Amino acid sequence: MTVRPWIRRVRRAILATGTTAVLAAGLLTGAAVPAQAAAQRPCDLYAAGGTPCVAAHSTTRALYGGYNGPLYQVRRASDGATKDIGPLSTGGYADAQAQDTFCAATSCAITVLYDQSGRGNSLTQGLKGGGWPGPAAGGNDNLANAFEAPVTVAGHRAYGVYIAPGTGYRNNHTNGIAVGDQPEGMYAVFDGTHANDGCCFDYGNAETSGADTGDGHMEAIYFGTNTGWGRGSGNGPWVMADLENGLFSGVNRGLNTGDPSINDRFVTAIVKGEPDRWAIRAGNAQAGGLLTGYSGPRPGGSGYHPMHKEGAIILGIGGDNSNASAGTFYEGVMTSGYPSDATENAVQADITAAGYSSAPTGSGSLTPGSAVSLRATTACCTSDYLRHDDTDTKVVISAVGSSGPATDKAAAGWIVRAGLANSSCLSFESADRPGQFLRHYGFELYLNADDGGGNFAQDATFCATPGNSGTGASFRSVNYPTKYLRHYDYTAYVAGNGGSNAWDSASSWADDTTWVVGRPLA
């Protein structure tokens, strides 16, 4: 889609260093034809339905029962080295520990999403084409932080692809993807709680030039809250089809009430099209079946009937590289031919059986994935917990009792994550506002959504140390190593032990920077 970004931000340094070249040998390792499957995975089900996968991407699991090649590649910031991450076993789930080990004490970006279909349709860094430039070197798009979308699948830890504005992936030279008015299908599993109204969080078929070449030159899944062209019922987000120069929730632009808002934690999104027919289907990726938001003729006008699809593949951006969007991708495929509803229903059953979950893997410890509370230790405030404020984005301390309001207890809950700027340190994600992180700005603490900037990753990363008062734990800022997370006058800061700011006062500094890590209150 074409839209002028309203704000241009400086992006994360480690993501802005991506090159336009991708190692050919790395791409070829993702091109092995899957073996005969013992278990039926999505692409086995599509093949059985006569509409085989021609592209299959996932950072969480194999999409063929017989696949044992790489799922994705990461590059670490410390030395630029890369590593392929594969499944733990044939047809299995991603080996997240291999990523953790390789990226220890640094940060990593996802550089390649390998195509499991054997056709070589892997996704790499979105490149500047004829459309909107990205924020990375040469006007290219950023690469996703490899640690920012942790999940579990069938109880196995894995990582998704977290798209902050300015992040995107693409392949303009594909094999077997539908062109012109040829039939195709596609599905993706997204985070239903991570969306915005920027254009355009897409996965699917797009222009090979990276430029808007006219109506009907795209056919991609869109997920978000943009209302500039079309919308469904409620406030969104919606699954819609990006057909270029229009996000369609039905046969025409505008409101189509049959397309529902969907904000489940994990969402299955489907778009499929053939000559003068297309459909939107969607559902909860953790349980239940699929709803059909639209099925019928193409939009009016010569651009959409017949279609003029070009066969590139995009993720996280529009066809012309419009990159103001946000979202999270876990898995998705594209097919040859128009899949039947029955085939898609079988695929949905496999997705729900996979057991996607964002539930914390522990409670009360500083292990990534654990849910915690942080209680003050200063004599004045031993009933006070670190929490986000109700009325703004500031982070404060306040008394939170076991019999207090549920909203107060939820606001004092945090999910421990591997540090966004250093995986050996920590970041704290809000338990009740997924996707928002504790970060300092002007030395004061706030709860903010990632804006894709390098400063954000640094500001949201803290290294745990033994408590400065001799008990509990303290948290040192990764980019201001003499400053620690501190409460002062009931407001949270990163503060040094003495300095020009009031919150740097040496009085009670050791106690104010020491926290008891406990189980969540809610």
The DSSP string of 61-78 is B-SSTT--S--EEEEETT
| Structure letter (DSSP) for residue 27 | H
Question: What single-letter DSSP state applies at residue 409?
Answer: H
Rounded Cα gap, residues 251 and 258, in angstroms: 11
Q: From CA 476, how far away is CA 447, in angstroms rounded?
A: 17
> pLDDT tier at 24 (50, 70, 90 boundaries)?
very low
* Pairwise pLDDT comparison (127 vs 188), residue with the higher score: 188
The model's pTM is 0.88
**Where residue 8 falls among pLDDT bands split at 50, 70, 90?**
very low
Instruction: Say if residue 47's pLDDT is above 70.
Output: yes
Read off the tokens for 334.
Answer: 């594209």
Task: Taking residues 426-438, report their average pLDDT.
Answer: 93
Please provide residue 202's backbone torsions phi and psi, each rounded to the nearest 5 degrees. -120, 155
Q: Are 165 and 105 in contact (CB under 8 A)?
A: no
Give the residue, 179 or 4, on which the prediction is more confident.
179
Return the residue matching tokens 């303009």. Answer: 172
In this predicted structure, the answer to whether residue 170 has a pLDDT above a threshold of 80 is yes
Per the model's pLDDT, the better-predicted residue between 390 and 102 turns out to be: 102
pLDDT band at residue 360 using 50, 70 and 90 as cut-offs: confident
- Residue 65, classified by CB atoms within 10 Å of its CB into exposed (0-12), middle (13-18) or buried (19+), is buried
Which pair of tokens denotes residue 472?
């509990």
Q: E strands of 39-178, at which residues? A: 53-58, 72-76, 82-85, 108-113, 124-125, 150-153, 156-159, 161-163, 169-171
Q: Tokens at residue 520, please?
A: 């969540």
The catalytic residue positions are 244, 320
Q: What is the token pair recorded at 127?
A: 């490149």
pLDDT score recorded for residue 407? 94
